[in-house]
Structure 1
Amino acid sequence: MTRIEHANITVPDLEAATAFLAVVAPDFVVRHEDRSSQGYRWRHVGNAQCYFALQEPQPGSEAAPALGRYAGVGVNHFGLEVSGLEAMMRRLDAEGYARSYPVQREPGRLRAYFYDRAGFEWELIEYSTDDPAQRYRYDS
């Protein structure tokens, strides 16, 4: 079996990144945090199965040049399977998080896309079936 155990992301603001994850992944907790020998802070936020390793930029570093959405090399978005997506969308809207794409209501799943405060895009997916043929439909 293979699964993603963690993703390491450099974020401009640890607190803002942690606050977003608290909304979209309420079962996630701060597992550990510290300061590296290079001087930047880092934090692991997750549950018993997986986590995001969040770190601040190293002191004196510059932001990477912005690329167009889904253009060039880089991460396009992160996808999280969630429960209670309708209520989660209302909370994200109320807290001012921007939607990046219209809600996708499909047989077997509901998908919503939001940007966090750092501009990372997150796909939130709620499945209504355990049938893989319905969960992972690729209708064109």
Structure 2
Amino acid sequence: MIRLEHLNLVVRDIPETLGFYRAAFPHWWVRGGGESDWYGKVRNWVHFGDDYQYLTFNDDGEGENRDLRGHRLGLAHFAFVTADIDGVARRLAAAGFGIDKEGVEDPYRRNLYFIDPNGYEVEFVQYLSDVPTERNRY
């Protein structure tokens, strides 16, 4: 079995970034952190997650993230499955983050897209069926 353990994201500001992800994942915590040198530049880093998966945030980001409406190479978005998409949306709205766009209407899933403080598009999806052929319709 292979599963995704973590994503390593370069960000501008760790506390600002944590504001978004703490709202989305209230059950996660800062697992650890420190300072390191990345090719001659000192940066702070934290691991934010639970005992099994996490996000790494490194605060040496410069410039802007790729234009999500464009066609440049790079990360388009990443997604998380939730059992309560309305709860995620409420928590993010309370933290000052509105829905960027909604997914297409589907009887077997709902999905919402948000933009984090660094310009990363983050999708949250709630499946309304446990049947794979219904969940994975294209």
Question: If the TM-score is normalised by the length of the shorter chain, which range does it land in?
Answer: 0.7 to 0.9
CA distance in 2, matches of 1:34, 1:54: 11
Q: Number of paired residues?
A: 135
Q: Which runs of 4+ in 1 moved over 3 A?
A: 64-68
Out of 92-101 and 9-18, give the one that drifted further.
Answer: 92-101
CA apart distance, 1:89: 1.2
**Aligned-residue CA RMSD (Å):** 2.0
SS at match of 1:119: coil
For 2:14, give the aligned amino acid.
L
CA apart distance, 1:95: 3.0
Shift in alpha-carbon separation, 1:116–1:18, aligned structure 2, 3 A: same
1:120 aligns with 2:120: yes
For 2:55, give the aligned amino acid.
F
SS at match of 2:87: helix
Aligned sequence identity (%): 30
CA apart distance, 1:70: 4.8
The equivalent position to 1:40 in structure 2, one of 40, 43, 48, is 43
For 1:12, give the aligned amino acid.
R
CA apart distance, 1:98: 3.3
Give CA deviations for 1:85-131 in whole Å, capped at 9, x if unaligned: 11221332343313221254422211011111222111001122222
CA distance in 1, matches of 2:28, 2:125: 16
SS at match of 1:117: coil
The equivalent position to 1:51 in structure 2, one of 50, 54, 71, is 54
